[in-house]
């Protein structure tokens, strides 16, 4: 048997070892392969992108490189993202980048894509450094580990093979181990023990009778009674077990026969688990019966069964001890019944202890027999101390004061009159009012009483407090309203509310808060009440005006509460008259933000308005003027006429400044005789000079003072934002410096703060500022570049915008749209180009000239604007031009924006409106709009594979147009690659609209 156990154990250990070895080899091989794949892919990405990052290329140049890496099958890339040195995303490509979910924010879609790439592949990153170890940027990618070509090592293949071989060996060894364990665990049949040649033969009783026959007969009887029977000889060995004993001990009769009794029948104390060997040994040693009413029988498999047992000795004919009979019975069901009764008792006691009232059981004389936990806390005695007390000791009033009063008088229906009030007496000698409820009961033939004691202290305290609070609230100066939660009608209104409103109580109970409130709508009040009713807030404060009975109103602040304890629930509103508080707040605001002498904004308010004006100037195209004024020789006026006249002069100056500026301008007093003007919306420095002259001319006239005529002129310093790109403090400081220059120039004049501005920046500011005027004055010119096929036939006209600036000359389209983007005029300029194109098409149709498609740039977000589409439809209908003659060219991002275009675009598409693609490196995977023209930059012609991919991605009907063909070599390459048509200096010159008709008359046009 021991040898078999060792063989089974060896099989188990071998199987586990081989399984562990195989899994470890496979996991290690996969980890090494992944590391090698990441090293291979990281190196290839670094070699491809490092030169571009060193040159500082942007997204347009990086995107073709990233797309080329994604299309390489040897790298097995799912996604690739490129970041600059500061972690800003430059470009990104991936297998699910084109998917867009319109209802989800972009940040959630980006996280979902990153999670998908991490789920389907192995994610990695690499930082890219220059030769001088300067960080140029970083890349993040997701790849299919194991599919990267060029990373194949024989050692890894051998490691994988070893892992699979170990797993293959572990399978049959595991099956052998399972079969061996199953054979070991199988229980042998009863006859196996009897057939065992090593089995000991039991002693033969000296009675002369067959003990087996005796045990079988007695066992059948005990089985019928549910008792287990075990016969034990004088040596303590088991001779027989009946069927019940076999079931309870877990031993079969064959296995138990001949074994010592303590190895078969192991009885333990039910309380502490100690073995009770003396039960059988006592019967063997002393020859007297021994019983155990509660014991635990430990079974062969380790379980425990509660039993009651008795060991009885049996003697032979000579009177000698021959056999001990052990009888035991399963007590599981009995124990369960006892435990259920105990649970019911505990539950009943817990319910009684949980009562808010004290509960006592007494006899008819009032002697306490039991008490609950509440009675213990109420009287201050423990439960054991209460038992034996009389009711008269616990409640001396009235039972000691009035001996004729008995506890039974408090049984309902026993007394004709109402029993006197009861006072309880605690252990610490304090008293408390009590309400008694007594009922007779009869238990086990004995009469008794159930006494329920209710402490009335809290109720009396609450009643007293409610009475006191009612008087205080009714006399309060605040208005207190209690109104119904459903009808909103007032239930209670205090005297202060009636006094303030002028209504009597009868009139108010027919009103609601809406009847006495102004500036409070029914929806607003219902919203407040719903928030309180839903538990969102415990209280809520709002302001409104209450209307008196005479029609006058006054401001109040209302604090609203919701009381769920009332039945039905009610709302409590406490309103305070805040007339004086609002007046004080207005006075404080006036003192905090306005000058007390002149009423002008002070320094604090000036800084706030200057900050707001700076934000507005940053969004618009106009200038912000900051004028710093200082009164000349004001000190002499103070010294000659006194400070009272000086104050009058300051007030007159403030009035004159307010009269000379616009309502949208700000006049502020800094301190003393210093004033500041904020004038937004200036078009140029000439506007500022004009306003300064106007101020000086106004102050050339004497000030109108009572009995005096005083001339007081200011010196003015001016600075203009954004020519002076300073913050609020910097603008004030620069205007102050310009004011001192005016003082040094002779006083009574103005000076403009001069600051060196970069000519390029000045040009940008002037273009942004004058772009509105250019649109209004029609200073733009639309020119056209013909797109010709290889045979010289014209296929399309590419529109180009130019601006003839009065000072800067011709401004090209790229610079125009950059300035328009900063000024917010992109939509207006694109619509102007469409209008000009429609005018040219109408002129060509009138001259019976061919109508070539005109390709115009457009922003994709315009197609989501219903107003723009209305203008576009109106222009097409007004000029009666064919819709197919307009081609609106969008960028790839514009195509994405147009995916959710307005439904009004669909009728135009049905009428023949066409779309083009411009400024791209590759054709997007999804095109929501029909594509008729693709404007490819001529530089792509150097990459024949890229051009082939573009051609394959386009529909067969779409024209591939090469733009920027400026030399003969580029034109030859484009013709060789089969580009549909070309546009540029080497193909045909750009023509103004006025010369286009003459060119069309002589040109060959594609029919």
613 is in which domain, residue-wise? 597-756
> What is the pLDDT confidence band of residue 930, given thresholds at 50, 70 and 90?
confident
β-bridge mates for residue 304, sequence order: 298
Mean pLDDT of 186-190: 58
pLDDT at res. 198: 46
pLDDT at res. 22: 80
pLDDT at res. 629: 93
Q: Are 751 and 740 in contact (CB under 8 A)?
A: no
pLDDT at 765 over 80: no
DSSP 597: T
Specify the CATH number for the domain of residue 924. 3.20.20.450
Residues 621 and 517 in one domain: no
pLDDT digits (tens, 9 = 90+) for 134-149: 888 888 888 887 777 7
Q: In what order do the strands lie in the sheet with 517-518?
A: 490-493, 479-484, 570-577, 553-563, 539-547, 517-518
Phi, psi (deg, nearest 5) at residue 393: -75, -35
> What is the pLDDT confidence band of residue 230, given thresholds at 50, 70 and 90?
very high
DSSP states along 148-215: -TT---HHHHHHHHHHHHHHHHHHHHHHHHHHHHHHHHSPPPHHHHHT-TTPPPPPPPTTSS-HHHHH
Nearest to 600 by CA among 671, 660, 648, 664: 671
pLDDT at 656 over 60: yes
pLDDT digits (tens, 9 = 90+) for 790-831: 888 999 999 999 988 878 788 888 888 887 877 678 888 899
Q: Are 688 and 625 in contact (CB under 8 A)?
A: yes
β-pairing verdict for 854-857 and 886-890: parallel
pLDDT at 856 over 90: yes
| CA end-to-end distance (rounded Å), the chain | 102
Residues 859 and 922 in one domain: yes
Mean pLDDT of 3-14: 76
Residue 354, both tokens: 């949980």
Specify the CATH number for the domain of residue 31. 3.30.450
Mean pLDDT of 925-945: 84
In a domain, 179, yes or no: no
Residues 451 and 466 in one domain: no
> What is the pLDDT confidence band of residue 195, given thresholds at 50, 70 and 90?
very low
User: Which of 426, 455, 484 is the C-terminal boundary of a domain?
Assistant: 455
Give the whole-angstrom CA distance, residue 900 versus residue 915. 15
Mean pLDDT of 836-862: 90
Q: Are 550 and 502 in contact (CB under 8 A)?
A: yes
Mean pLDDT of 976-996: 88
pLDDT at res. 65: 84
User: Which of 455, 473, 496 is the C-terminal boundary of a domain?
Assistant: 455
In a domain, 769, yes or no: no
pLDDT at 214 over 80: no
pLDDT at res. 675: 94
pLDDT at 908 over 80: yes
Give the whole-angstrom CA distance, residue 504 versus residue 483. 16
b or e along 499-524 (b: 16 or more beta carbons within 10 Å of the residue's beta carbon)? Answer: ebbebeeeebeebbbeebbeebeeee
In the chain, % of residues over pLDDT 90: 15
In a domain, 145, yes or no: yes
Phi, psi (deg, nearest 5) at residue 988: -160, 145
In a domain, 932, yes or no: yes
pLDDT at res. 152: 65
Specify the CATH number for the domain of residue 499. 3.30.450.20
Give the whole-angstrom CA distance, residue 549 versus residue 194. 112
Residues 366 and 447 in one domain: yes
pLDDT at 678 over 90: yes
**For residue 819, what are the CA distances in angstroms to 93, 483, 764, 813, 855?**
31, 63, 7, 10, 22
> What is the pLDDT confidence band of residue 853, given thresholds at 50, 70 and 90?
very high
pLDDT at 565 over 80: no
Q: Could you give the angle at the alpha carbon of 366 between the alpha carbons of 361 and 367, nearest 5°?
A: 70
Mean pLDDT of 762-787: 80
pLDDT at 670 over 90: no
pLDDT at 985 over 90: no
Residues 225 and 127 in one domain: no
Averaged pLDDT of the chain: 84
Nearest to 928 by CA among 957, 976, 894: 894
Q: When comparing pLDDT for 842 and 202, which is higher?
A: 842
> What is the pLDDT confidence band of residue 887, given thresholds at 50, 70 and 90?
very high
In a domain, 764, yes or no: no
DSSP 420: P
Residues 720 and 748 in one domain: yes
Residues 551 and 641 in one domain: no
Q: When comparing pLDDT for 811 and 715, which is higher?
A: 715
DSSP states along 261-313: HHHH-EEEETTT--B-THHHHHHHHH-S-EEEEEEEEEPTTS-EEEEEEEEEE
In the chain, % of residues over pLDDT 70: 92
**Number of structural domains found in the chain:** 6
Residue 482, both tokens: 């209690």
Give the whole-angstrom CA distance, residue 522 versus residue 309. 83
Phi, psi (deg, nearest 5) at residue 747: 65, 160
pLDDT at res. 641: 86
Alpha carbon 317 to its chain's center: 92
In three-state secondary structure terms, 575 is strand
CB atoms within 10 A of CB 982: 27
> What is the pLDDT confidence band of residue 680, given thresholds at 50, 70 and 90?
very high
Specify the CATH number for the domain of residue 624. 3.30.70.270
pLDDT at 273 over 60: no
pLDDT digits (tens, 9 = 90+) for 443-502: 877 889 999 999 888 777 766 666 666 676 776 778 888 888 888 888 888 888 888 888
Residues 240 and 134 in one domain: no
Mean pLDDT of 247-276: 79
Q: How many CA atoms lie within 13 A of 30 on its CB side?
A: 11
β-pairing verdict for 238-241 and 708-710: unpaired
pLDDT at res. 197: 47
In a domain, 59, yes or no: yes
pLDDT digits (tens, 9 = 90+) for 41-71: 888 888 888 888 888 777 777 888 888 888 8
Give the whole-angstrom CA distance, residue 438 versus residue 532. 44
Phi, psi (deg, nearest 5) at residue 547: -105, 125
User: Which of 711, 740, 756 is the C-terminal boundary of a domain?
Assistant: 756
pLDDT at res. 127: 87
pLDDT at res. 758: 61
Q: Which helix (H) or strand (E) holds 798?
A: strand 794-805
Rg value, the chain, Cα = 52
Report the range of poorest mean pLDDT among 435-444, 664-673, 918-927: 918-927
| Residue bearing tokens 């709002």 | 542
Residues 971 and 879 in one domain: yes
Q: Going along 515-662, which residue ranges are E strands?
A: 517-518, 539-547, 553-563, 570-577, 623-631
Q: When comparing pLDDT for 232 and 443, which is higher?
A: 232
Q: Are 125 and 140 in contact (CB under 8 A)?
A: yes
pLDDT digits (tens, 9 = 90+) for 285-327: 888 888 888 888 888 888 888 999 999 898 887 888 888 999 9
Burial of 698 by CB count in 10 Å (0-12 exposed, 13-18 middle, 19+ buried)? middle
pLDDT at res. 354: 86
Rounding to the nearest 10 degrees, give the CA dihedral for residues 966, 972, 975, 977: -110
pLDDT at 697 over 70: yes
Q: Are 339 and 312 in contact (CB under 8 A)?
A: no
Long-range CB pairs of 272-277 (<8 Å, 24+ gap) are none
Q: Are 369 and 361 in contact (CB under 8 A)?
A: yes
> What is the pLDDT confidence band of residue 275, given thresholds at 50, 70 and 90?
very low
pLDDT at res. 886: 92
Q: Which helix (H) or strand (E) holds 129?
A: strand 122-129
pLDDT at 594 over 80: yes
Rounding to the nearest 10 degrees, give the CA dihedral for residues 385, 387, 390, 393: 20
Residue 311, both tokens: 């060991």
Give percent helix, percent strand, percent coil of the chain, each to the nearest 5.
45, 25, 30
Burial of 846 by CB count in 10 Å (0-12 exposed, 13-18 middle, 19+ buried)? exposed
Mean pLDDT of 329-339: 89
In three-state secondary structure terms, 464 is helix
Residues 860 and 801 in one domain: yes
pLDDT at res. 202: 46
Q: Are 681 and 621 in contact (CB under 8 A)?
A: no
Would you say the C-alpha torsion 474, 480, 485, 487 has a positive or negative sign? positive
pLDDT at res. 784: 92
Residues 923 and 834 in one domain: yes
pLDDT at 992 over 50: yes
In a domain, 210, yes or no: no
Nearest to 925 by CA among 959, 954, 889: 954
Long-range CB pairs of 155-164 (<8 Å, 24+ gap) are 156/29, 156/32, 156/33, 156/36, 159/25, 159/28, 159/29, 159/32, 160/25, 160/26, 160/29, 162/21, 162/22, 162/25, 163/21, 163/22, 163/23, 163/24, 163/25, 163/26, 163/29, 164/22, 164/26
DSSP states along 863-914: GG-HHHHHHHHHHHHHHT--GGGEEEEE-HHHHHHGGG--TTHHHHHHHT-E
pLDDT digits (tens, 9 = 90+) for 10-50: 877 888 888 888 888 888 877 887 888 788 888 888 888 88
Mean pLDDT of 239-262: 90
Q: Could you give the angle at the alpha carbon of 617 between the alpha carbons of 615 and 622, nearest 5°?
A: 170
pLDDT at res. 467: 66
In a domain, 185, yes or no: no
β-bridge mates for residue 886, sequence order: 854
Residues 862 and 991 in one domain: yes
**For residue 79, what are the CA distances in angstroms to 30, 93, 208, 534, 657?**
21, 6, 96, 49, 65
Q: Are 731 and 610 in contact (CB under 8 A)?
A: yes
pLDDT at res. 690: 92
Mean pLDDT of 506-520: 87
pLDDT digits (tens, 9 = 90+) for 869-885: 999 999 999 998 899 89
């Amino acid at each position: 048997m021991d040898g078999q156990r060792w063989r089974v154990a060896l099989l188990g250990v071998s199987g586990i070892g081989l399984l562990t070895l195989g899994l470890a080899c496979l996991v290690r091989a996969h980890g090494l392969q992944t590391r090698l794949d990441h090293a291979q892919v990281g190196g290839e990405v670094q070699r491809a992108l490092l030169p571009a990052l060193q040159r500082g290329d942007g997204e347009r140049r990086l995107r073709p490189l990233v797309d080329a890496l994604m299309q390489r099958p040897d790298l097995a890339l799912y996604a690739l993202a490129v970041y600059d040195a500061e972690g800003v995303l430059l470009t990104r490509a991936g297998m699910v980048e084109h998917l867009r979910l319109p209802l989800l924010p972009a940040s959630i879609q980006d996280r979902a894509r990153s999670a998908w790439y991490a789920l389907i592949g192995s994610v990695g990153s690499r930082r890219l450094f220059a030769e001088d170890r300067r960080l140029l940027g970083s890349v993040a990618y997701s790849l299919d580990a194991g599919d990267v070509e060029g990373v194949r090592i024989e050692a890894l293949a051998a490691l994988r093979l070893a892992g699979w071989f170990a797993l293959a060996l572990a399978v049959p060894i595991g099956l052998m181990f399972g079969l061996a364990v199953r054979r070991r665990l199988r229980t042998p049949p009863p006859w196996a023990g009897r057939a065992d040649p090593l089995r000991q033969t039991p002693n033969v009783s000296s009675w002369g009778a067959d003990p087996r026959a005796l045990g079988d007969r007695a066992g059948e009887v005990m089985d019928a009674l549910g008792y287990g029977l075990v016969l034990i000889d004088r040596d303590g060995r088991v001779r027989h077990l009946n069927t019940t004993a076999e079931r309870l001990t877990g031993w079969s009769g064959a296995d138990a026969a001949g074994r010592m009794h303590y190895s078969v029948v192991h009885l333990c104390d039910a309380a502490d688990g100690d073995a009770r060997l003396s039960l059988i040994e006592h019967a063997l040693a002393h020859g007297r019966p021994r019983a155990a009413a509660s014991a635990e029988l430990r079974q062969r498999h380790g379980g425990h069964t509660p039993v009651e047992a008795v060991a009885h000795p049996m003697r032979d004919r000579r009177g000698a001890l021959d056999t001990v009979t052990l009888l035991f019975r399963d007590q599981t069901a009995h124990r369960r019944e006892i435990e259920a009764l105990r649970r019911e008792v505990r539950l009943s006691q817990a319910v009684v202890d949980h009562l808010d009232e004290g509960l006592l059981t007494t006899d008819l004389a009032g002697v306490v027999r039991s008490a609950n936990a509440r009675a213990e806390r109420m009287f201050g005695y423990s439960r054991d101390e209460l038992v034996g007390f009389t009711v008269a000791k616990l409640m001396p009033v009235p039972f000691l004061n009035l001996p004729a009063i008995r506890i039974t008088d408090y049984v309902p229906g026993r007394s004709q009159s109402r029993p006197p009030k009861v006072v309880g007496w605690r252990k610490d000698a304090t008293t408390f009012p009590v309400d008694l409820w007594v009922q007779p009961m009869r238990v086990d033939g004995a009469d008794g009483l159930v006494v329920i004691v209710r402490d009335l202290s809290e109720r009396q305290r609450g009643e007293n407090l409610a009475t006191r609070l009612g008087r205080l609230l009714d006399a309060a100066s605040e208005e207190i309203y209690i109104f119904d939660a459903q009808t909103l009608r007032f239930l209670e209104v205090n005297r202060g509310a009636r006094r303030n409103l002028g209504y009597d109580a009868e009139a108010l109970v027919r009103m609601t808060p809406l009847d006495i409130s102004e500036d409070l709508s029914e929806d607003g009040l219902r919203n407040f009440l719903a928030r309180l009713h839903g538990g969102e807030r415990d209280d809520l404060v709002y302001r409104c005006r209450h209307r008196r009975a005479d029609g006058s109103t006054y401001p109040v602040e209302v604090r609203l509460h919701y009381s769920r304890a009332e039945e039905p629930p009610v709302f409590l509103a406490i309103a305070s008259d805040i007339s004086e508080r609002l007046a004080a707040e207005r006075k404080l605001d006036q003192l905090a933000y306005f000058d007390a002498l002149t009423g002008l904004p002070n320094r604090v308010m000036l800084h706030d308005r200057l900050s707001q004006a700076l934000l507005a100037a940053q969004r618009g195209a106009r200038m912000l003027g900051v004028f710093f004024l200082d009164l000349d020789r004001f000190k002499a006026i103070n010294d000659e006429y006194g400070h009272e006249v000086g104050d009058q002069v300051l007030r007159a100056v403030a009035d004159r400044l307010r009269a000379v500026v616009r309502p949208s301008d700000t006049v502020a007093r800094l301190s003393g005789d210093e004033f500041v003007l904020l004038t937004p919306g200036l078009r140029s420095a000439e506007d500022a000079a004009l306003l300064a002259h106007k101020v000086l001319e106004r102050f050339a006239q004497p000030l109108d003072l009572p009995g005096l005529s005083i001339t007081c002129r200011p010196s003015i310093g001016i600075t203009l934002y954004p020519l002076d790109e300073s913050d609020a403090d910097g603008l004030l400081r620069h205007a102050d410096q310009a004011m001192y220059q005016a003082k040094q120039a002779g006083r009574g004049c103005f000076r403009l703060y001069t600051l060196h501005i970069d000519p390029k920046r000045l040009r940008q500011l002037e273009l942004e500022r004058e772009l509105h005027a250019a649109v209004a004055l029609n200073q733009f010119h639309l020119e056209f570049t013909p797109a010709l096929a290889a045979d010289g036939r014209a296929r399309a006209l590419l529109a180009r915008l130019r601006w003839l600036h009065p000072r800067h000359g011709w401004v090209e389209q790229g610079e125009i749209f950059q300035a328009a983007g900063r000024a917010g005029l992109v939509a207006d300029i694109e619509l102007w180009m469409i209008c000009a194109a429609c005018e040219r098409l109408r002129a060509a149709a009138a001259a019976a000239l061919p109508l070539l498609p005109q390709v115009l740039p457009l922003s994709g977000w315009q197609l989501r604007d219903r107003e723009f589409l209305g203008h576009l439809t109106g222009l097409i209908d007004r000029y009666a031009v064919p819709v197919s003659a307009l081609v609106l060219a969008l960028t790839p991002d514009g195509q994405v924006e147009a995916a959710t275009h307005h439904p009004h675009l669909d009728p135009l598409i049905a009428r023949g409106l066409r779309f083009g693609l411009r400024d791209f490196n590759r054709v997007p995977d999804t095109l929501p709009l029909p594509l008729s023209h693709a404007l490819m930059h001529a530089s792509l012609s150097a990459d024949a594979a890229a051009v082939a991919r573009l051609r394959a991605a386009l529909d067969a009907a779409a024209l591939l147009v090469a733009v920027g063909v400026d030399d003969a070599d580029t034109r030859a390459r484009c013709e060789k690659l089969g580009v549909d048509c070309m546009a540029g200096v080497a193909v045909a010159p750009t023509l103004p609209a006025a010369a286009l008709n003459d060119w069309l008359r002589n040109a060959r046009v594609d029919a």
